[in-house]
């Protein structure tokens, strides 16, 4: 069987970023504000520092303002909430991103609830979660939608065109990825099945999927013989494992080589969903400032 076509998330992310940069320029040209993204990082987690830096840099590259807030690990919840409150009231800030995970002594749910829903560019505020859960099929997504799920839905539409009627199986039901992916696909008129750790006979269920989205955080868990021939596979997983040479490498939740011998289209890891996540954050920040990409 022919190898699956690669779904190039990097290339689509470049095109989305170009559209965002144009949207930012158009907003400013029409007397609108410079979209501003505030990033908030508590503690010195190395991976989080890299993510936050790349988000701030990308915002600046696209013509936005970026405001970087770094707080020490021992910062108390009250102090963090006071910063969020200041950012909520700052007219130069249109998007607030609180980098997760937060230190254990801070209640993340409490902090995410404190962000103004209009500035919640990660789409994690319960108000926006509820809007996504109750949106009518096909209605405009005129509120912040979580970035990774939005990226997944864009990759699928770019690859397959209209998704109406397709059977999508989403493996994983986390509030950050699996659930919002399922809700977006429902909004796009897919027939959606959500699987999780208690699902019986997962391989058989996966074989029914025309569209298979996997977000479980288990390296190469989904095997080639779980894939329906010709299916479109979106691998959200990012797992660091030791390669045969002892060096760390990134793999997804799907056994890529096996799956690409059966699937019609598949995202690579890295270079699939990952690049879309940050580009969607930029798109959400532009939208929060009143622009469109």
Residues of this chain that interact with ligand NDP (CB under 6 A) are 148, 171-174, 176-178, 195-199, 202, 215-218, 236-239, 273-274, 277
Residue of 257, 262, 232, 260 whose CA lies nearest to 170:
232
In the complex, the smallest distance separating the C-beta of residue 197 from ligand NDP, rounded to whole angstroms, is 3
In the complex, the smallest distance separating the C-beta of residue 115 from ligand NDP, rounded to whole angstroms, is 18
Q: 245, 237 in Cβ contact below 8 A?
A: no
35 DSSP assignment = P
Residue with nearest beta carbon to ligand NDP: 174
Q: Which is nearer to ligand NDP, 274 or 291 (CB)?
A: 274
Residue of 230, 251, 232 whose CA lies nearest to 241:
251
The beta-strand segments (E) located in 196-284 are: 211-214, 232-235, 239-242, 248-251, 265-266
- Which one is catalytic: 120, 122, 235, 253? 122
In the complex, the smallest distance separating the C-beta of residue 213 from ligand NDP, rounded to whole angstroms, is 10
Is 189 annotated in the active site?
no
- Which one is catalytic: 10, 44, 49, 55? 55
- Which one is catalytic: 99, 119, 183, 265? 99
- Which of helix, strand or coil describes residue 239? strand
What are the CA-CA distances from residue 58 to residues 28, 69, 94 (Å)?
Answer: 18, 16, 16
Is 55 annotated in the active site?
yes
In the complex, the smallest distance separating the C-beta of residue 82 from ligand NDP, rounded to whole angstroms, is 28
Q: Which is nearer to ligand NDP, 142 or 201 (CB)?
A: 201
Residue of 145, 196, 207, 135 whose CA lies nearest to 171:
196
36 φ/ψ angles, rounded to the nearest 5 degrees: -120, 130
Distance CA 182, CA 48 (A): 26
Q: Which is nearer to ligand NDP, 37 or 281 (CB)?
A: 281
Q: Which is nearer to ligand NDP, 9 or 291 (CB)?
A: 9
In the complex, the smallest distance separating the C-beta of residue 33 from ligand NDP, rounded to whole angstroms, is 28
Q: 218, 253 in Cβ contact below 8 A?
A: yes
- Which of helix, strand or coil describes residue 34? coil
Q: Which is nearer to ligand NDP, 7 or 83 (CB)?
A: 7
- Give the residue numbers marked as catalytic: 55, 99, 122
């Amino acid at each position: 069987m022919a190898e699956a076509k690669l779904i190039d998330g990097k290339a689509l992310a470049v095109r989305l970023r170009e559209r965002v940069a144009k949207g930012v320029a158009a907003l400013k040209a029409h007397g609108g504000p410079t979209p501003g993204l505030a990033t908030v990082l508590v503690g010195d987690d190395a991976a989080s520092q890299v993510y936050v830096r790349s988000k701030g840099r990308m915002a600046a590259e696209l013509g936005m303002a970026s405001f970087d807030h770094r707080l020490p690990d021992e910062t108390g919840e009250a102090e963090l909430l006071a910063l969020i409150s200041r950012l909520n009231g700052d007219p130069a800030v249109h998007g607030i991103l609180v980098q997760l995970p937060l230190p254990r002594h801070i209640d993340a749910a409490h902090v995410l609830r404190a962000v103004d829903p209009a500035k919640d560019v990660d789409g994690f505020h319960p108000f926006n979660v509820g809007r996504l859960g109750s949106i009518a099929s096909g209605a405009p997504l005129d509120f912040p939608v979580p970035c990774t799920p939005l990226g997944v839905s864009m990759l699928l539409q770019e690859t397959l065109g209209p998704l109406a009627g397709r059977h999508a199986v989403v493996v994983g039901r986390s509030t950050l990825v699996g659930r919002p992916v399922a809700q977006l696909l429902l909004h796009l008129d897919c027939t959606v099945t959500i699987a999780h750790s208690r699902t019986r006979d997962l391989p058989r269920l996966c074989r029914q999927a025309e569209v298979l989205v996997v977000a479980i955080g288990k390296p190469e868990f989904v095997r080639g013989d779980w894939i329906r021939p010709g299916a479109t596979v979106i691998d959200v997983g990012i797992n660091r494992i030791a390669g045969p040479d002892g060096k760390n490498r990134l793999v997804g939740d799907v056994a890529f080589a096996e799956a690409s011998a059966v699937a019609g289209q598949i995202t690579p890891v890295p270079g699939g969903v990952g690049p879309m996540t940050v580009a969607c954050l930029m798109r959400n920040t532009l939208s929060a400032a009143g622009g469109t990409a």
